Structure 1
Amino acid sequence: MPARKLSNIPVVKFRKFLESQGLKVITGTRGRGGHEKWSKRGMDRPVTIQTHIDPVPEFIVKQVLRHLKMDRDTFFSEYNKL
């Protein structure tokens, strides 16, 4: 079975995924236009997503999965529950 691609993930659904993993938007930070910073307790550093580009670029999804220490299969398992 071929691995699913991490491209074509809508920003709205990716935000729901981040929320389902316990991440919250960091408010009060001076993010640059079109970007959001997300974090949760225990993370080394926040993740930044580009909200002005839809769908979310694959490299951003991969970066977030590395920060969450999550593999592709686990991601799609959680993503499909949304």
Structure 2
Amino acid sequence: MTKSIRNIPLRLFRDYLTYKGLRVIRTKGGHEVWSRKNLPRPIVLQTHIDPIPPFIIKSNLRTLGVDVNDFYDFVKNH
């Protein structure tokens, strides 16, 4: 069963990206760029948007190739 996505604190999403093996490759202005070797494109987080809205979370999960349920398992156990 797929869960609906809600706003997630920026700190928690950063922890999830680190858990998935990503790291910050650069910061410019209010943006952090996260990446790892096998991603098709980097993930960009706007640091001034906290909590992160669902549409940004969904887009980033698609880029990671991660299922929403995997993400919620992390959130539940974190």
TM-score by length of 2: 0.86
Aligned residue in 2 for 1:53: 49
Question: Any unmatched runs of 5+ in structure 1?
Answer: none
Give, in whole Å, the separation in 1 of the partners of 2:25 and 2:54. 22
Q: What does 1:7-22 correspond to in 2, within 5 Å?
A: 7-22=6-21
**Counterpart code for 1:63:** S
Tell me the percent identity. Answer: 45
In structure 2, runs of 5+ residues without a counterpart are none
Cα distance in 1 between the residues matched to 2:67 and 2:30: 27
Asked if 1:38 corresponds to 2:34, the answer is: yes
Aligned residues of 1:7 and 1:55 also touching (Cα < 8 A): no
Give the 3-state SS of the residue equivalent to 1:79 in structure 2: helix
For residue 5 of structure 1, report the CA deviation from its aligned partner. Answer: 3.1
Q: CA deviation at 1:74?
A: 1.1
Larger-gyration structure (1/2):
1
Structure number with the higher helix fraction is 2
CA distance in 1, matches of 2:75, 2:35: 18
Amino acid at match of 2:7: N
Cα displacement (A) at 1:58: 1.2
